Amino acid sequence: MRLQTKNLSYMAMLAALSYVMVFALRIPVMPAAPFLELDLKDVFIVIGGFMYGPLAAFAISFVVAFIQMLTISESGYVGLLMNTLSSAAFACSAAAIYHYMRNLKGAVVGLVAGCLLMTAVMILWNYIITPIYTGLPRPAVAAMLIPVFFPFNMIKSVLNASITMMMYKPVTAAIKAASNRGGQGVGEVKGLPKVGVLIVSLFIIITIVLIILILQEKI
């Protein structure tokens, strides 16, 4: 019971960090759809999924989306639905794969799968929901799926995945130290080559930042 209570407290902490990320950093990157805002909240959601499983990732996704709806979102229950679907598609799939492959390969495969699934899921749901939310005709939204929604969700998911690879070990190490239970219940990427992961992640992040700057120039 004490272990479960501690896990819930750490999940709540990750949810709080995730909310801080979306509260402090929301960047519209697609000129054709300013309502699409880039944020980094999924970093801490997927870390929670790696540590405690896909159900934990879904729970954190929903809690963050709900608090976001009550505080900073202007899209109401539509935003709650879309934010939950987006984060859960990314984090739950990544966590589910890592649950069965608890090593660097499993983390990478899980994050890649999360990027692909999130992008596919949000293309479908944007086609369904965006006309209702924005009032745009469905053919106009359909014409935006590949040139707008696809690159946005791919950029967002890849950026979150890259930062997750950089942040996972420091975050889990901090929680391991705070828990005083020798890392029990905390999934770690064992044998992670810190320098290699750092270099690759930084390269991807810099590339994405340059892409975002190019898109901003088109505004």
Please give the pLDDT value at position 191. 41
Q: Is residue 54's pLDDT more than 90?
A: yes
Helix (H) / strand (E) element for 28: namely strand 27-28
Query: Directed axis angle between helix 150-179 and helix 42-52, to 10°?
Result: 50
Residue ranges of domains in the chain, CATH in brackets: 2-19+38-217 (1.10.1760.20)
Q: Is residue 6's pLDDT more than 60?
A: yes
Please give the pLDDT value at position 180. 57
Highest mean pLDDT among 19-28, 49-58, 178-187: 49-58
Please give the pLDDT value at position 174. 77
Q: Is residue 41's pLDDT more than 60?
A: yes
Q: Is residue 59's pLDDT more than 90?
A: yes
Q: What is the pLDDT of residues 88-129, one digit of tens each?
A: 999 999 999 999 888 888 999 999 999 999 999 999 999 999
Matching residue, tokens 């202007």: 74
Burial of 187 from C-beta contacts in 10 A (0-12 / 13-18 / 19+): buried
Q: What is the pLDDT of residues 124-181, one digit of tens each?
A: 999 999 888 888 899 998 998 998 899 999 999 999 999 998 888 888 777 777 665 5
Q: Is residue 69's pLDDT more than 70?
A: yes
What are the backbone dihedrals phi and psi of residue 38, each rounded to the nearest 5 degrees, phi first?
Answer: -80, 135
Query: Which region among 27-36, 44-53, 55-64, 203-212 has the lowest average model confidence (pLDDT)?
Result: 203-212
Q: Is residue 30's pLDDT more than 80?
A: no
Q: What is the pLDDT of residues 184-204, one digit of tens each?
A: 444 444 444 456 556 667 767
Half-sphere exposure of 166 (CA within 13 A, CB side): 14
